[in-house]
Structure 1
Amino acid sequence: MSEKRPTIYLIRHGETDWNAEGRLQGQQDIPLNAVGRVQAEEAGARLRGLVLDYGSLDYVASPMGRTRETMERMRDAVFLDPSQYRLDDRLVELTFGSWEGMTWKEVRKKDPQAAAMRERDKWNFVPPDGGESYAMLAGRIRPFLDDLTRDAVVVAHGGVARAFLALACGVSTRHAASIDIWQGKILVIEGRKHYWA
């Protein structure tokens, strides 16, 4: 990555019913709920207040339905063509394997040893049955960051945001894996600094 990286305006997709229930979504394609649709529009209003020339930014989203809908509602809220953005498969959320659809309480009950292992090392733990660790996710995200050539709005997922913080901002992997990633707000990454708007 170059020393002067473009500014990233990272937006986590709006709320889904599974978010509201505390279920692990991972790569399950759960749609936005009513709250999530409002959060997407609120993110657009925040962007409009944050960036004067927001129409000139690059707009990139994970190809999952909840991120596409968030991007389209956000763009519509700032009077941009909702369809004019690109998708990047590298931005897909990490997969929780066989844990997807479960709450953390259900995971701890069904698989207490694996849940305890994850708590000890969230960044490197690989969930069972095809899961993906944050470290593996970061391997997908690093080339995306390297490929950015201009300031960008990125609509993605909580895990992706945590990988961005570790890779772009130097947040320790232990801390990055546990940071709350808000819906409806914008995580601004400028060089090695980051803040919520």
Structure 2
Amino acid sequence: MKLMILRHAPALTGGRLAGRRDVDADCSDRDAFARMATRLGEIGEVLSSPARRCLQTAVALGLGDPPTRAALWEQDHGAWEGMALDRLPDLGRMSPADLARHRPDGGESFDDMAARVRPEIEALRGDCLIVAHAGTVRAALAMVVGPAALSFAVAPLSLTVLRRAGPDWSVEAVNVTAP
């Protein structure tokens, strides 16, 4: 089974942390969308986070209005939601495992989010494209590499590909953008 996860187009956040805030995507780069659609090729099932930025990305790719799954939402950053990126607290040096367990006030940790995302991914039975968030991509990567998944860059409108053989997952590609 092949799982492709596409991060949504750049979020229009005004320099603020979006997380669970429902913001628009910048879908103006038609050439980038055309190149990514070509890179995606034939697609089986398509699912999406219910976030507006993900649904707008799916439409811009010509995927129509895919079914949504609430479990695919981005991490809830609690008190940090909507905060200017340059005002986010400095947590200092933390191991990947400690960072994955860290929970902002009123939010969820990466581990919490990964526990929400994983059953949705594990339930898939055939090739699938998911349009979602950087956190969703990292949650899928965590199934293979654990909390080290937090170290992966996930650019807007980038593709990550995983494969499953039986119960085992492998990473085929991460953060692939259309040439």
1:43 Cα deviation from its structure 2 partner = 2.5
Please identify the structure whose Cα radius of gyration is greater: 1
Shift of 1:36: 6.6
Counterpart contact for 1:15–1:36, Cα < 8 Å: no
- In the superposition, relative to structure 1, how do residues 102 and 135 fare at CA in structure 2: closer, same or farther (>3 Å)? same
Identify the residue that residue 97 of structure 1 maps to in structure 2. Answer: 78
TM-score, with length taken from structure 2: 0.84
Q: 1:32 to 1:42 in 2, by over 3 A?
A: farther
Change (3 A) 1:37 1:17: farther
Deviations 1:141-177 (A, max 9, x none): 121122101100000000111000011xx2130x211
Preserved CA contact (<8 Å) 1:125 1:133: yes
Instruction: Say yes or no: does 1:10 pair with 2:11.
Output: no
- TM-score normalised to the size of structure 1? 0.77
Q: Which runs of 5+ in 1 are unaligned?
A: 1-5
Instruction: Kindly provide the amino acid, as one letter, of the partner of residue 189 in structure 1.
Output: L
Aligned to 2:4, what secondary structure does the other structure show?
strand
Partner of 1:194: 172
| Distance verdict in 2 for CA 1:13–1:101, change over 3 Å | same
Q: CA deviation at 1:178?
A: 2.3
1:6-155 correspondence to structure 2 within 5 Å = 6-18=1-13, 21=15, 23-35=16-28, 39-48=32-41, 53-54=42-43, 57-74=44-61, 76=62, 82-83=64-65, 85-108=66-89, 112=90, 115-116=91-92, 119-120=94-95, 121-128=98-105, 130-155=106-131
Cα deviation for residue 194 of structure 1 reads 2.6
Identity of aligned residues (%): 27
CA positional deviation for 1:44: 1.5
| Pair 1:41–1:27, CA change in 2 (3 A) | farther
Aligned residues between the structures: 168
Contact 2:48 2:130 in 1 (8 A): yes
Distance 1:189 1:166, change over 3 A: same
Structure 2 unmatched runs, 5+? 165-169
- Structure-1 residue corresponding to 2:150: 177
- Cα deviation for residue 34 of structure 1 reads 4.6
Which residue identity does 1:142 align to in structure 2?
R
